Amino acid sequence: MHKVEAYPSVLNNSASRGGRSPIRPPTVERMAHSITLYGKPGCHLCEDAREIIARVAGELGVPWEERDITASAADLEKYGEMIPVTLVDGVQHDFWRVDEARLRAALG
């Protein structure tokens, strides 16, 4: 059986390219992340979440914002029983507590 190599001239013939290394596919740049914290005044779990998010976001250079669910009926209905709720890139990531290692992994 004859073995066919994919792109043999590209992968195996560095001499034809002046001795340069094989052509590599383009890399995808890291996506710029963002964090949103949904909470409300007087929520002690929200204070804990805020501290962790501020520390992680600051260390990694990730922008973050905090939204008060009491300012929006829709947010209050959606997140009222789960605060604090953390979103990463607009997708719900955590609720009730922020797991710092898990947050770092999502942003890394």
Query: H or E stretch including 35?
Result: strand 35-39
Summarize the confidence of residues 4-10 as an average pLDDT. Answer: 38
Q: What is the pLDDT of residues 21-48, one digit of tens each?
A: 455 444 444 569 999 999 999 999 999 9
What is the number of structural domains in the chain? 1
Structure tokens at 105: 């992994």
Measuring CA to CA, which residue among 37, 52, 35 is closest to residue 84?
A: 37
Higher pLDDT, 19 or 76: 76
Is 1 among the domain residues? no
Please check the confidence at residue 19 and state whether its pLDDT lies above 90: no
Rounded to two decimals, the pTM is: 0.71
64 strand-pairing partners: 35
The residue segments making up the domain with residue 74 are: 35-107
Within-domain flag for 11: no
List, for residues 46-65, the tens digit of each pLDDT value.
999 999 999 999 999 999 99
- Does a structural domain hold residue 87? yes
Kindly report the CATH number assigned to the domain that includes residue 88: 3.40.30.10
Task: Please check whether residue 13 lies inside any domain of the structure.
Answer: no
Residue 65 lies in a domain: yes
